Protein backbone atom coordinates (compact mmCIF):
# COMPACT_ATOMS: atom_id res chain seq x y z
CA UNK A 1 0.00 0.00 0.00
CA UNK A 2 1.39 3.41 -0.96
CA UNK A 3 1.70 5.77 1.93
CA UNK A 4 0.40 9.30 1.51
CA UNK A 5 2.87 12.03 2.34
CA UNK A 6 2.40 13.55 5.76
CA UNK A 7 0.62 16.61 4.44
CA UNK A 8 -2.87 17.97 5.11
CA UNK A 9 -5.44 16.33 2.83
CA UNK A 10 -7.59 19.39 2.39
CA UNK A 11 -6.21 22.49 3.95
CA UNK A 12 -3.49 23.79 6.18
CA UNK A 13 -2.59 26.95 7.99
CA UNK A 14 0.48 28.06 9.88
CA UNK A 15 -0.01 28.54 13.59
CA UNK A 16 2.57 30.09 15.86
CA UNK A 17 2.77 27.66 18.76
CA UNK A 18 4.88 27.35 21.84
CA UNK A 19 6.67 24.02 21.49
CA UNK A 20 9.09 22.85 24.15
CA UNK A 21 9.61 26.39 25.35
CA UNK A 22 10.58 27.74 21.91
CA UNK A 23 8.51 29.41 19.24
CA UNK A 24 7.95 27.11 16.29
CA UNK A 25 5.80 27.49 13.22
CA UNK A 26 3.80 24.33 12.68
CA UNK A 27 1.19 23.21 10.22
CA UNK A 28 -2.36 22.51 11.27
CA UNK A 29 -4.25 20.48 8.68
CA UNK A 30 -7.40 18.56 7.92
CA UNK A 31 -6.95 14.86 7.15
CA UNK A 32 -9.46 12.46 5.64
CA UNK A 33 -9.64 8.69 6.12
CA UNK A 34 -11.91 6.98 3.61
CA UNK A 35 -13.03 3.41 3.09
CA UNK A 36 -15.85 3.05 0.57
CA UNK A 37 -18.75 5.28 1.60
CA UNK A 38 -17.47 5.49 5.19
CA UNK A 39 -15.12 8.36 6.00
CA UNK A 40 -13.90 10.62 8.75
CA UNK A 41 -12.14 13.96 8.77
CA UNK A 42 -9.95 15.16 11.58
CA UNK A 43 -7.34 17.73 12.38
CA UNK A 44 -4.07 17.60 14.28
CA UNK A 45 -5.28 20.66 16.16
CA UNK A 46 -6.32 18.99 19.40
CA UNK A 47 -6.53 15.52 17.77
CA UNK A 48 -10.06 16.54 16.84
CA UNK A 49 -12.62 14.42 14.99
CA UNK A 50 -14.39 16.88 12.68
CA UNK A 51 -16.81 14.58 10.86
CA UNK A 52 -17.92 10.97 10.48
CA UNK A 53 -19.82 10.24 7.28
CA UNK A 54 -21.93 7.07 7.40
CA UNK A 55 -24.98 5.85 5.40
CA UNK A 56 -28.46 5.29 6.80
CA UNK A 57 -30.75 2.32 6.14
CA UNK A 58 -31.60 3.73 2.68
CA UNK A 59 -27.99 4.42 1.73
CA UNK A 60 -28.17 8.17 2.32
CA UNK A 61 -24.95 9.60 3.70
CA UNK A 62 -24.90 12.01 6.63
CA UNK A 63 -22.33 13.49 8.97
CA UNK A 64 -23.18 12.25 12.47
CA UNK A 65 -20.72 14.54 14.31
CA UNK A 66 -21.54 18.06 15.50
CA UNK A 67 -18.84 20.62 14.81
CA UNK A 68 -17.64 23.60 12.79
CA UNK A 69 -17.14 24.42 9.11
CA UNK A 70 -13.57 25.68 9.05
CA UNK A 71 -10.28 24.85 10.66
CA UNK A 72 -9.97 28.41 11.94
CA UNK A 73 -13.26 27.99 13.80
CA UNK A 74 -11.94 24.90 15.58
CA UNK A 75 -8.75 26.70 16.54
CA UNK A 76 -10.73 29.59 18.05
CA UNK A 77 -13.55 27.53 19.56
CA UNK A 78 -14.09 26.54 23.19
CA UNK A 79 -17.09 24.25 22.69
CA UNK A 80 -15.06 21.00 22.78
CA UNK A 81 -16.42 19.69 19.48
CA UNK A 82 -14.50 16.47 18.90
CA UNK A 83 -11.04 16.80 20.54
CA UNK A 84 -8.96 14.39 22.57
CA UNK A 85 -9.00 15.84 26.08
CA UNK A 86 -6.04 15.42 28.46
CA UNK A 87 -3.60 15.26 30.18
CA UNK A 88 -6.27 14.88 32.87
CA UNK A 89 -9.73 15.01 31.32
CA UNK A 90 -12.93 15.73 33.24
CA UNK A 91 -13.11 17.92 36.32
CA UNK A 92 -10.54 18.18 39.08
CA UNK A 93 -11.75 19.69 42.35
CA UNK A 94 -10.17 23.10 43.00
CA UNK A 95 -7.57 22.27 40.36
CA UNK A 96 -5.33 20.60 42.93
CA UNK A 97 -4.14 17.17 43.99
CA UNK A 98 -1.48 15.53 46.12
CA UNK A 99 0.88 12.98 44.60
CA UNK A 100 3.66 11.31 46.57
CA UNK A 101 3.32 13.93 49.29
CA UNK A 102 3.60 16.95 47.00
CA UNK A 103 0.74 19.36 46.30
CA UNK A 104 0.17 20.28 42.65
CA UNK A 105 -1.97 23.17 41.41
CA UNK A 106 -3.38 23.09 37.89
CA UNK A 107 -5.03 25.76 35.79
CA UNK A 108 -8.56 26.68 36.97
CA UNK A 109 -10.92 26.96 33.99
CA UNK A 110 -14.33 25.75 35.22
CA UNK A 111 -15.58 27.89 38.07
CA UNK A 112 -13.51 26.86 41.08
CA UNK A 113 -12.19 23.76 39.34
CA UNK A 114 -10.18 22.64 36.35
CA UNK A 115 -11.59 20.66 33.44
CA UNK A 116 -10.11 18.70 30.52
CA UNK A 117 -6.50 19.48 31.33
CA UNK A 118 -6.78 23.24 31.84
CA UNK A 119 -7.13 26.16 29.45
CA UNK A 120 -4.43 24.70 27.20
CA UNK A 121 -5.01 21.00 27.49
CA UNK A 122 -4.42 18.50 24.69
CA UNK A 123 -7.40 19.94 22.80
CA UNK A 124 -5.56 23.24 22.34
CA UNK A 125 -2.19 22.08 21.07
CA UNK A 126 -0.77 21.06 17.69
CA UNK A 127 -0.10 17.34 17.38
CA UNK A 128 2.62 16.02 15.10
CA UNK A 129 1.44 13.77 12.28
CA UNK A 130 3.73 10.73 12.45
CA UNK A 131 2.00 8.56 9.83
CA UNK A 132 -0.91 9.07 7.46
CA UNK A 133 -2.51 6.60 5.03
CA UNK A 134 -5.64 8.15 3.53
CA UNK A 135 -7.23 5.17 1.76
CA UNK A 136 -7.05 1.45 1.09
CA UNK A 137 -8.32 -1.38 3.25
CA UNK A 138 -7.27 0.14 6.56
CA UNK A 139 -6.62 3.89 6.37
CA UNK A 140 -5.15 5.49 9.47
CA UNK A 141 -3.43 8.47 10.98
CA UNK A 142 -1.06 8.47 13.96
CA UNK A 143 -0.57 11.66 15.95
CA UNK A 144 2.10 12.44 18.55
CA UNK A 145 2.41 15.03 21.30
CA UNK A 146 5.12 15.58 23.93
CA UNK A 147 3.48 17.02 27.03
CA UNK A 148 6.18 18.81 28.99
CA UNK A 149 6.93 18.85 32.69
CA UNK A 150 4.84 21.55 34.38
CA UNK A 151 2.37 21.90 31.50
CA UNK A 152 -0.85 23.24 33.05
CA UNK A 153 0.75 22.52 36.43
CA UNK A 154 1.11 18.76 35.87
CA UNK A 155 4.33 16.90 36.69
CA UNK A 156 6.68 15.14 34.31
CA UNK A 157 7.24 14.75 30.58
CA UNK A 158 4.72 12.54 28.81
CA UNK A 159 4.98 10.97 25.34
CA UNK A 160 1.52 10.60 23.81
CA UNK A 161 0.40 8.75 20.67
CA UNK A 162 -3.10 8.52 19.19
CA UNK A 163 -3.98 6.38 16.17
CA UNK A 164 -7.30 6.70 14.32
CA UNK A 165 -8.03 3.87 11.89
CA UNK A 166 -10.92 2.56 9.79
CA UNK A 167 -10.41 -1.09 10.68
CA UNK A 168 -13.49 -2.71 9.13
CA UNK A 169 -16.48 -1.54 7.13
CA UNK A 170 -18.08 1.19 9.27
CA UNK A 171 -15.71 0.74 12.24
CA UNK A 172 -13.47 3.45 13.66
CA UNK A 173 -10.72 2.36 16.03
CA UNK A 174 -9.01 4.87 18.33
CA UNK A 175 -5.90 3.70 20.17
CA UNK A 176 -4.10 6.04 22.55
CA UNK A 177 -1.10 5.49 24.78
CA UNK A 178 1.07 7.66 26.99
CA UNK A 179 4.42 6.93 28.59
CA UNK A 180 5.58 8.82 31.69
CA UNK A 181 9.24 9.65 31.13
CA UNK A 182 10.61 11.02 34.37
CA UNK A 183 7.96 11.74 37.03
CA UNK A 184 4.77 10.15 38.28
CA UNK A 185 1.73 11.91 36.83
CA UNK A 186 -2.05 11.51 36.61
CA UNK A 187 -3.35 10.61 33.13
CA UNK A 188 -6.92 10.39 31.85
CA UNK A 189 -7.91 10.90 28.20
CA UNK A 190 -11.31 11.09 26.55
CA UNK A 191 -12.55 11.81 23.03
CA UNK A 192 -15.18 14.53 23.25
CA UNK A 193 -17.28 13.76 20.16
CA UNK A 194 -20.83 15.12 19.95
CA UNK A 195 -22.98 12.58 18.09
CA UNK A 196 -26.36 12.71 16.42
CA UNK A 197 -27.11 9.49 14.52
CA UNK A 198 -29.85 11.23 12.56
CA UNK A 199 -27.19 13.58 11.20
CA UNK A 200 -25.75 16.73 12.74
CA UNK A 201 -28.23 19.58 12.70
CA UNK A 202 -31.21 17.23 12.22
CA UNK A 203 -32.80 18.03 15.57
CA UNK A 204 -32.54 16.65 19.07
CA UNK A 205 -31.40 13.20 20.15
CA UNK A 206 -34.15 12.64 22.72
CA UNK A 207 -35.69 9.88 20.59
CA UNK A 208 -32.42 7.95 20.26
CA UNK A 209 -32.50 4.75 22.29
CA UNK A 210 -29.52 4.06 24.51
CA UNK A 211 -28.33 0.95 26.32
CA UNK A 212 -25.35 1.05 28.68
CA UNK A 213 -23.33 -1.80 30.16
CA UNK A 214 -23.42 -0.04 33.51
CA UNK A 215 -25.14 -1.10 36.70
CA UNK A 216 -23.49 1.63 38.82
CA UNK A 217 -22.77 5.34 38.63
CA UNK A 218 -21.01 8.06 40.64
CA UNK A 219 -23.46 10.72 41.91
CA UNK A 220 -22.37 14.28 41.10
CA UNK A 221 -22.78 17.49 43.08
CA UNK A 222 -23.80 20.88 41.63
CA UNK A 223 -20.25 21.44 40.35
CA UNK A 224 -20.41 18.09 38.52
CA UNK A 225 -17.86 16.54 40.87
CA UNK A 226 -18.20 13.13 42.56
CA UNK A 227 -17.56 14.85 45.91
CA UNK A 228 -19.26 12.16 48.01
CA UNK A 229 -17.03 9.42 46.61
CA UNK A 230 -20.07 7.15 46.43
CA UNK A 231 -20.68 4.54 43.75
CA UNK A 232 -24.41 3.80 43.68
CA UNK A 233 -26.55 1.29 41.79
CA UNK A 234 -28.56 2.65 38.85
CA UNK A 235 -31.49 0.34 39.65
CA UNK A 236 -34.60 2.32 40.49
CA UNK A 237 -33.12 5.65 39.29
CA UNK A 238 -33.45 7.79 36.17
CA UNK A 239 -29.85 6.84 35.34
CA UNK A 240 -30.76 3.25 34.50
CA UNK A 241 -30.03 2.48 30.83
CA UNK A 242 -29.36 -1.23 31.23
CA UNK A 243 -32.15 -1.91 28.75
CA UNK A 244 -32.69 0.17 25.57
CA UNK A 245 -34.41 3.38 26.64
CA UNK A 246 -35.07 6.67 24.81
CA UNK A 247 -32.57 9.27 26.01
CA UNK A 248 -35.42 11.72 26.54
CA UNK A 249 -37.64 9.35 28.53
CA UNK A 250 -36.50 10.64 31.93
CA UNK A 251 -34.28 13.56 31.00
CA UNK A 252 -36.42 16.09 32.89
CA UNK A 253 -35.91 14.07 36.06
CA UNK A 254 -32.13 14.53 36.16
CA UNK A 255 -29.80 17.50 36.28
CA UNK A 256 -26.26 17.92 35.06
CA UNK A 257 -25.26 20.83 37.27
CA UNK A 258 -27.75 23.65 36.69
CA UNK A 259 -29.39 22.15 33.61
CA UNK A 260 -31.80 19.31 33.08
CA UNK A 261 -30.08 16.48 31.25
CA UNK A 262 -27.39 13.87 31.71
CA UNK A 263 -23.82 14.80 32.61
CA UNK A 264 -22.99 11.77 34.70
CA UNK A 265 -20.24 9.19 35.08
CA UNK A 266 -21.12 5.51 34.78
CA UNK A 267 -19.01 2.63 36.06
CA UNK A 268 -18.80 0.14 33.19
CA UNK A 269 -19.43 -3.49 34.08
CA UNK A 270 -16.57 -5.92 33.50
CA UNK A 271 -12.94 -5.30 32.59
CA UNK A 272 -10.76 -5.03 29.50
CA UNK A 273 -12.03 -4.27 26.01
CA UNK A 274 -15.82 -4.70 26.18
CA UNK A 275 -19.08 -3.25 24.93
CA UNK A 276 -19.90 -0.01 26.71
CA UNK A 277 -22.94 1.38 24.91
CA UNK A 278 -25.42 0.85 22.11
CA UNK A 279 -27.24 3.86 20.66
CA UNK A 280 -29.83 3.78 17.88
CA UNK A 281 -31.79 6.34 15.86
CA UNK A 282 -35.04 4.78 14.71
CA UNK A 283 -35.70 7.30 11.93
CA UNK A 284 -32.45 6.78 10.04
CA UNK A 285 -31.80 3.23 11.17
CA UNK A 286 -28.25 4.15 12.17
CA UNK A 287 -26.81 2.54 15.27
CA UNK A 288 -23.53 2.87 17.15
CA UNK A 289 -21.96 0.22 19.34
CA UNK A 290 -19.10 1.59 21.44
CA UNK A 291 -16.39 -0.61 22.93
CA UNK A 292 -13.58 0.52 25.23
CA UNK A 293 -11.10 -0.67 27.85
CA UNK A 294 -11.69 2.06 30.44
CA UNK A 295 -13.46 1.66 33.81
CA UNK A 296 -16.00 4.44 33.29
CA UNK A 297 -17.92 6.56 30.81
CA UNK A 298 -19.47 10.02 30.96
CA UNK A 299 -22.88 10.41 29.34
CA UNK A 300 -23.45 14.02 28.30
CA UNK A 301 -26.57 15.14 26.46
CA UNK A 302 -25.52 18.55 25.17
CA UNK A 303 -27.15 20.40 28.05
CA UNK A 304 -25.03 23.52 27.51
CA UNK A 305 -25.73 23.87 23.78
CA UNK A 306 -27.69 27.08 23.25
CA UNK A 307 -27.81 28.69 19.80
CA UNK A 308 -24.28 27.33 19.34
CA UNK A 309 -22.96 27.95 15.84
CA UNK A 310 -22.41 24.69 14.00
CA UNK A 311 -21.89 23.49 10.44
CA UNK A 312 -23.51 25.01 7.37
CA UNK A 313 -25.01 27.94 9.26
CA UNK A 314 -26.93 25.65 11.62
CA UNK A 315 -27.45 26.57 15.25
CA UNK A 316 -27.19 23.70 17.75
CA UNK A 317 -29.68 23.74 20.58
CA UNK A 318 -29.88 21.89 23.88
CA UNK A 319 -29.96 18.08 23.39
CA UNK A 320 -29.00 18.29 19.69
CA UNK A 321 -26.07 15.94 20.36
CA UNK A 322 -24.79 13.49 22.93
CA UNK A 323 -21.35 12.32 24.05
CA UNK A 324 -20.22 8.89 25.18
CA UNK A 325 -16.89 9.67 26.84
CA UNK A 326 -15.00 6.57 27.99
CA UNK A 327 -12.60 7.52 30.75
CA UNK A 328 -11.26 6.97 34.26
CA UNK A 329 -13.38 8.04 37.21
CA UNK A 330 -13.66 11.87 37.33
CA UNK A 331 -11.51 13.58 39.98
CA UNK A 332 -9.84 10.27 40.77
CA UNK A 333 -6.72 12.21 41.84
CA UNK A 334 -8.65 13.37 44.91
CA UNK A 335 -10.45 10.11 45.67
CA UNK A 336 -8.22 7.25 46.85
CA UNK A 337 -11.32 5.04 46.87
CA UNK A 338 -11.47 5.30 43.06
CA UNK A 339 -9.14 3.36 40.72
CA UNK A 340 -5.81 5.18 40.47
CA UNK A 341 -4.94 7.29 37.41
CA UNK A 342 -1.26 7.64 38.37
CA UNK A 343 1.27 6.60 35.73
CA UNK A 344 4.83 6.20 36.99
CA UNK A 345 8.05 6.60 34.99
CA UNK A 346 8.35 3.85 32.42
CA UNK A 347 4.70 2.83 32.75
CA UNK A 348 2.33 3.13 29.80
CA UNK A 349 -1.27 4.35 29.94
CA UNK A 350 -3.51 2.80 27.26
CA UNK A 351 -7.00 3.86 26.23
CA UNK A 352 -8.65 2.06 23.32
CA UNK A 353 -12.04 2.81 21.77
CA UNK A 354 -13.97 1.16 18.96
CA UNK A 355 -16.94 2.81 17.24
CA UNK A 356 -19.02 0.21 15.33
CA UNK A 357 -21.64 1.81 13.09
CA UNK A 358 -24.50 -0.10 11.48
CA UNK A 359 -27.71 0.79 9.64
Domains annotated for the chain, with CATH where assigned, are: 28-358 (2.70.98.10)
Catalytic annotation present for 116: no
Kindly report the number of other CB atoms within 10 A of residue 56's CB atom.
18
The residue from 192, 208, 335, 351 that is catalytic is 192
User: Are 173 and 353 within 8 A, CB to CB?
Assistant: yes
Task: Kindly report the pTM of this predicted structure.
Answer: 0.93
Determine if residue 192 is labeled as part of a ligand binding site: yes
Residue 64 known to bind ligand = no
Which residues lie closer than 8 Å to 231 by C-beta, 6 or more apart?
216, 217, 218, 267
325 flagged as catalytic: yes
Please report, in tens digits, the pLDDT of each residue of the chain (359 residues total).
Answer: 434 444 444 444 544 443 333 334 579 999 999 999 999 999 999 999 999 999 999 999 999 999 999 999 999 988 899 999 999 999 999 999 999 999 999 999 999 999 999 999 999 999 999 999 999 999 999 999 999 999 999 999 999 999 999 999 999 999 999 999 999 999 999 999 999 999 999 999 999 999 999 999 999 999 999 999 999 999 999 999 999 999 999 999 999 888 999 999 999 999 999 999 999 999 999 999 999 999 999 999 999 999 999 999 999 999 999 999 999 999 999 999 999 999 999 999 999 999 999 99
Structural contact between residues 160 and 176, judged by C-beta atoms closer than 8 angstroms? yes
Amino acid sequence: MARAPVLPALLCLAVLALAGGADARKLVGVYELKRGDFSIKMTNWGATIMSILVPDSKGNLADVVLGKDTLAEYVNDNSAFGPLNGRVAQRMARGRFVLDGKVYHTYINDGRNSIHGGHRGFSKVIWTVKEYVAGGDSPYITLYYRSFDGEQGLPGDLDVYATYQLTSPYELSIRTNATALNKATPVNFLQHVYLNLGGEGSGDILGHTLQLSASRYTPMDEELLPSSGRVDPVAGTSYDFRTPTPIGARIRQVKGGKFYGYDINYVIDGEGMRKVALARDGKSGRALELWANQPAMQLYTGNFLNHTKGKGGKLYEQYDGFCLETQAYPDAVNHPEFPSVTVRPGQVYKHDMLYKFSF
